[in-house]
Amino acid sequence: MNLTQDRPSPLLEIHGHAHAWTPEQARAQFRSGVSGPTAGVAAGHTQANLISVPADWAYDMLLFCQRNPKPCPVLDVTDAGSWTTPLAQGADLRTDLPRYRVWEHGELVDEPTDVTDRWRDDLVSFLIGCSFTFAWALSEAGVPMRHIEQGRNVSMYVTGRQCRPAGRLHGPMVVSMRPVPPEHLAAAIRESSLLPAVHGSPVHCGEPSGLGIEDLSRPDFGDPVDAAPDDIPVFWACGVTPQAAVMASRPPFAITHAPGQMFLTDTRDEQYRVV
């Protein structure tokens, strides 16, 4: 299996009231088997990417994140074997995401909605900031969120930019893309730059070939999103980057979130805003 999802993938079982869920309600829905992209779910609460690796790979992952803070801003790191986090009281990292990915030697072997039976006592989990978190700030500034308007997952692409390697981990940076009208570009850059813990400002605006991306209509993850004629493609570093590193570096085992299907924390988005 590779990382590319079937396209398009609508919001699946996540319905139109999901923006009003509390994080606890969202996690309960996911625990019951509801799945789908979480853009706009529990609006105003921070979402996080997940990657869990064996303890003997945890230092490499921590160093990889430290050396590549734009795509891998760390919000929390668990103790080995723990499935809890202070970012979400009572939550279970094994059950409370919409969908997971299970990796063996860099190969995707399963995409379950529950990984309790795959969990290991030596797994260290990293919760990494997600660009869905700054959607509220962009929306309040008048920036349209085309993927949410269209009921689609955000578009994500593997770039030609290599991350700084760390120990045994290496791989390309992944980016998410949002089409932005020219008159809203300054606001999109300004508002996202105030949230460095969730990727911060864009890494590129305009011509996708500058990142080594050949065709915006064929994202590596997520869905193609329809842009208005004058929209500018704007690219932010993406927390799927560790999954690209798993593919390139081939650790013996890893568990991640499915792209676009995030962990909902209890933290309010504005708590990560730099004043």
CATH number at residue 50: 3.40.1640.10
Residues 128 and 142 in one domain: no
So what's the pLDDT on residue 149? 85
Whether 4 maps to a domain, the answer reads no
Number of domains in the chain: 2
Q: Give the pLDDT confidence of 117-146 residue by residue, as tens digits.
A: 999 999 999 999 998 888 878 888 999 989
Structural domain of 81: 18-132+245-272
> Contact 234/144 with Cβ under 8 angstroms?
no
Residues 108 and 196 in one domain: no
Please state which of the ranges 27-31, 74-78, 137-141, 194-198 shows the lowest mean pLDDT.
137-141
Checking if the pLDDT of 7 tops 80, the result is no
Q: Give the pLDDT confidence of 47-72 residue by residue, as tens digits.
A: 999 999 999 999 999 999 999 999 99
30 CB-near residues (< 8 Å, 6+ apart): 95, 96, 97, 98, 113, 264
> Contact 246/254 with Cβ under 8 angstroms?
yes
Query: For residue 148, what is the DSSP state?
Result: H
Residues 114 and 181 in one domain: no
The pLDDT > 70 percentage for the chain reads 94
Q: Residue 35's pLDDT band (boundaries 50, 70, 90)?
A: very high
Whether 138 maps to a domain, the answer reads yes
Here the CATH number for the domain that contains residue 140 is 3.30.2040.10
| Strand-pair category, 123-129 with 204-205 | unpaired
